[in-house]
Amino acid sequence: MGGVSQAPWTRLWVLGQVASRDYLLQGTYTTVAYRTRGAFPEAGISIELSPAAHGGPWLQELSVIAEGSYGFLTSQFKDATGAPQRVATPVVRASGDLRYRAPLAPESVFSPRLGLRLGYAFSRFMVPVGNPLFRTITHHGPRIGAEIYQPLLPPFLALSVFGSVLPFGHPGESETLAYGSQASSSGLWVEVGFEGSLRPMGAGLTWKVLVSVLQYGDHFAGTGTEDADASAREEQLVVVAGLGYAF
């Protein structure tokens, strides 16, 4: 087959997604457990900019990616007295990456592309004012990742697998104040999905579906306003469907 087709400058997706989230914190004297019961809707946007899209086949694979989503979920948790509570709270998730994909066989449309990403990720779960322990559960920090992109039926279907680690993450100020000022966090972010062109429906139209798993582990040392020497774990599962336009 002929050479790789010229890449677009920009890809923009509107995302619809459902998510679940669990959070467990254990201190010396207290336990905080949030559990979602089911999946809850979110809306998001993703933009990919390729400033060298019209360069050579190697330069075409350099891009900047920014993503963000917002939604509400209903969680169950135990308050400071141990009594069960059920609340609806907003969730924010965002990330930005510099990505480079290297085609292993640039002249083939079936060439797998191995990619590296370097960026920053942010996640916040806002707790109602009435919660006696803290107002937010936040994770943020730099991330480094790798991915593989494999065209299966170009340009209509391709497999994408992405994994990243957040080795130097940070818990939020709210949790740090409550459970210990010497805080550290690490995370893992994995995505598996499919994407492709919707050319028969319109030039430039694209689609994607993916499953995303996020895990964070926190450690708090020292004495906070609520407890001391705590550890926490957060898990998120997100299923995403997107409709986009490439131009």
User: Is beta strand 84-103 parallel, antiparallel or unpaired with respect to 157-171?
Assistant: unpaired
> Would you tell me how many other CB atoms lie within 10 Å of the CB of residue 181?
12
Residue whose pair of structure tokens reads 């135990």 in the numeric block: 78
What pLDDT sits at residue 3?
A: 41
Q: How far apart are CA 185 and CA 72, in angstroms?
A: 24
Mean pLDDT per 10-residue segment, the chain (247 residues)? 56 95 87 77 95 68 94 71 74 95 90 96 77 75 97 97 95 86 94 95 93 96 86 95 95
What pLDDT sits at residue 4?
A: 42
Give me the torsion for CA of 41, 24, 118, 206, rounded to 10°.
-20
What pLDDT sits at residue 216?
A: 96
Q: Which CATH superfamily is domain 10-246 in?
A: OMPT-like (2.40.128.90)
What pLDDT sits at residue 236?
A: 93
Contact 43, 96 (CB under 8 A): no
Both structure tokens of 5: 């087709």
Q: How far apart are CA 124 and CA 90, in angstroms?
A: 8
What count of residues does the chain have?
Answer: 247
Domain boundaries, the chain: 10-246
What pLDDT sits at residue 187?
A: 96
Q: How far apart are CA 27 and CA 226, in angstroms?
A: 9
Q: How far apart are CA 126 and CA 134, in angstroms?
A: 9
What pLDDT sits at residue 180?
A: 86
Contact 235, 9 (CB under 8 A): no
Q: Give the phi and the psi of residue 103 in degrees, each rounded to 5.
A: -70, 130
